[in-house]
Chain A
Amino acid sequence: MKSIRVGCGSASWGDMLDPAVELAERGDVQYIGFDHLAELTMSILQRMKQKDPTRGYIPDLVPWMKRLLPVARDKGIRMLTNAGGANVEAAGDAVAHLASSLGHTGLKLGLVFGDDVLPRIQEFRAQGVKFHNLDTGEEDIDRIADRIVSANAYIGSEGQIQALAERADVVITGRATDSSVHIAPMVHEFGWATDDWNLMGAAIAIGHIIECSSGCAGGMSNFWKDIAEPWRVAFPIAEIYENGDVVITKAAGSGRMVTEWTVKEHLVYEVHDPTRYLMADGVADFSACRVETVGPDRVKVTGFKGTPRPDTLKLCLGYEDGWIGESEISVCWPDAYEKAQFCETFLRGRFAALKLPITEMRVDFIGLNSIHGPLATLPRALEDLNEVRVRVAVRTTSKEHANLVRREVTHLWTHGPVGTTAVISPPPPRQVISLWPTLVPRELVPQTMVMKEVR
């Protein structure tokens, strides 16, 4: 039976480069898919583009391609990435320039557009489209309409499939779904009908398993104690069969592990209703799949199903929503816990005295309760605590107000209890971009693909 090997080269902006290079060099893969986008990323990239029209794509794209293109060209590996972010065109220009300087003339770049609907929101509203908020239930965007900074639909693999059909060596898109960069090679190679919903369900599920890079190979794992050499991170490979079965594995000689447990950990990761895992390309059903070990670091998954794709696409609007000021400082033994409480009282009193307009405030004692919050149990012998790090975060209305937070925390250095220290460099105030998750009719968001040849 025909099979292909697709590797995952990235799970997010800032992911590790060398496991992707290892995949390319030793993974025996024909394709590598890269996801670089998270929910907040599009707003950040949109801002970058507004400041400079030649930016707005994932900056890692160029150094990544610099390392990977020579290997990929040598081995005939085709790469697909959503690192185009908010500026696919500029990303294409940057990669073309790089490829040209490396001597890869004739390289074909398939650029896929269509996800960015920011300029079309008013037009959609004029047509009567309402943007119901899936989180809060709000009917429409009147409350935020003048503060929207990004609007990206999660588009599927159509444009990428077309690019592969037209022999693209590298495919660059924007806010295509995380799994679409892995789905496109399967559909292209096997000639799967994109309305064969069981096969599309399998493609989506396989994409889901590998899309978080080491997430199915020992990253974020309950089995971290089994990892002998933590620094040897390996990215996964999906060995996909024409019937929709898959073996999850990794490059020969690479570190960490692929086990039934690590694959299961990712099958249940960031999934809601497992019988209806909604993606632009279809709806996957995980409820009948079987996971079995078929060799060392080889885990076979079979039995995925699917149902027809939704008529709508997920649309994420980012909008400006005030500012956050946050800062940290450390207190030490003796009486570290009481000193931390003193700092909290100091800060609450100072903010009140300064009439800081606070929408929300949170104080964490790092080392005690900052991660598990009210469920964290305090150590029995509080008087033995060597140190506590006090962290305060405030949501407020302006940059100037947010800046007061770090000023006041810094004041604890000299006006707080004896031994209060380590203020280090407080982070600058950060503007909040809140997200408005909604749906948009699929037919309003067509994709276009433009092929660019490197000269």
Chain B
Amino acid sequence: MARQVPLRELAWARSGDKGDVSNIGVMAKTPAAYAILKRYLTAAIVKAHFAGIVKGEVVRYDLDNLQSLEFVMRNALGGGATRTLMMDQTGKAFGPNLLRLVLMVED
């Protein structure tokens, strides 16, 4: 049976910027949570979540040693901190924004 699990129950997140690229480090709260993240928190899901904000590709890197996933999102900050009209010029709030996501998890 599939159930809904809010990402914020599974992980912490911290985000930032380099030019027009924002990245989000997603840190699993437990090993069991990390297993769920690895399976369900795909780059495609993250890209779809940020529709209307992130214009470019989203790539995921896995850090099994830190039980963390790194998401790198291109064309994400309205041209980058020095030229963007966004209030969150440096993507600091992208992490919390990702935590709005609710995953559909199969038991």
* Chain A contact residues, CB within 8 Å of chain B: 38-40, 43, 134-135, 220-223, 261, 264-275, 286-291, 303, 318, 321, 324, 326, 360-362, 364, 366, 370-375, 377, 391, 393-395, 432-435, 437
* Chain B contact residues, CB within 8 Å of chain A: 12-14, 16-21, 23, 25-27, 49-53, 61, 63-66, 68, 70, 72, 74-75, 78-83, 85-88, 92-93, 96-97, 100
Question: Which one, A268, A273, A303, contacts B25 given CB within 8 A?
Answer: A268
Query: Closest 8 interchain pairs by CB?
Result: A268-B25, A270-B16, A222-B12, A374-B52, A393-B85, A362-B85, A40-B82, A370-B87
Complex CA distance for A178 and B78, rounded to whole angstroms: 24
If A290-B65, A373-B52, A374-B53 touch, does A434 touch B82 (CB 8 Å cutoff)? Answer: yes
> Are B87 and A434 in contact, CB atoms less than 8 angstroms apart?
no
Please name all residues of chain A whose beta carbon is closer than 8 Å to the beta carbon of B68 when the two chains form the complex: 264, 267-268
Distance (whole angstroms) from the CB of A209 to the closest CB of chain B:
12
Distance (whole angstroms) from the CB of B12 to the closest CB of chain A:
4
Question: Closest A-chain residue to B96, C-beta based?
Answer: A372
> Are B16 and A269 in contact, CB atoms less than 8 angstroms apart?
yes
Question: Closest B-chain residue to A273, C-beta based?
Answer: B61
Distance (whole angstroms) from the CB of A118 to the closest CB of chain B:
17
Distance (whole angstroms) from the CB of B92 to the closest CB of chain A:
7
Please name all residues of chain A whose beta carbon is closer than 8 Å to the beta carbon of B87 when the two chains form the complex: 364, 366, 370-371, 391
Complex CA distance for A391 and B85, rounded to whole angstroms: 11
Question: Which one, A40, A261, A362, contacts B86 given CB within 8 A?
Answer: A362
In addition to A135-B20, A265-B12, A270-B16, 13 A-B residue pairs with Cβ atoms within 8 Å of each other are A135-B74, A267-B66, A268-B14, A271-B25, A275-B61, A360-B85, A364-B87, A372-B97, A373-B52, A375-B53, A395-B85, A435-B19, A435-B80
> Are A371 and B12 in contact, CB atoms less than 8 angstroms apart?
no
Complex CA distance for A321 and B53, rounded to whole angstroms: 22
> Are A372 and B93 in contact, CB atoms less than 8 angstroms apart?
yes
> Are A270 and B12 in contact, CB atoms less than 8 angstroms apart?
no
Complex CA distance for A231 and B26, rounded to whole angstroms: 27
Please name all residues of chain A whose beta carbon is closer than 8 Å to the beta carbon of B61 when the two chains form the complex: 272-275
Please name all residues of chain A whose beta carbon is closer than 8 Å to the beta carbon of B93 when the two chains form the complex: 371-372
Question: Which one, B17, B23, B88, contacts A271 given CB within 8 A?
Answer: B23
Please name all residues of chain B whose beta carbon is closer than 8 Å to the beta carbon of A286 when the two chains form the complex: 63, 65-66
> Are B80 and A39 in contact, CB atoms less than 8 angstroms apart?
yes
Could you list some 27 contacts between A and B, CB below 8 A? A39-B19, A39-B81, A43-B82, A135-B74, A220-B14, A261-B12, A265-B12, A265-B25, A268-B26, A272-B18, A272-B21, A273-B61, A273-B72, A274-B70, A290-B65, A318-B82, A324-B85, A326-B85, A362-B86, A372-B93, A372-B97, A373-B52, A373-B86, A377-B100, A433-B82, A434-B82, A435-B83
Please name all residues of chain A whose beta carbon is closer than 8 Å to the beta carbon of B16 when the two chains form the complex: 269-270
Please name all residues of chain A whose beta carbon is closer than 8 Å to the beta carbon of B81 when the two chains form the complex: 38-40
Please name all residues of chain A whose beta carbon is closer than 8 Å to the beta carbon of B13 when the two chains form the complex: 222
Please name all residues of chain A whose beta carbon is closer than 8 Å to the beta carbon of B63 when the two chains form the complex: 268, 274, 286-287
Distance (whole angstroms) from the CB of A320 to the closest CB of chain B:
11
Complex CA distance for A364 and B17, rounded to whole angstroms: 21
Complex CA distance for A370 and B88, rounded to whole angstroms: 8
If A265-B12, A288-B65, A371-B88 touch, does A270 touch B18 (CB 8 Å cutoff)? Answer: yes
Please name all residues of chain B whose beta carbon is closer than 8 Å to the beta carbon of A266 when the two chains form the complex: 14
Please name all residues of chain B whose beta carbon is closer than 8 Å to the beta carbon of A434 when the two chains form the complex: 79-80, 82-83
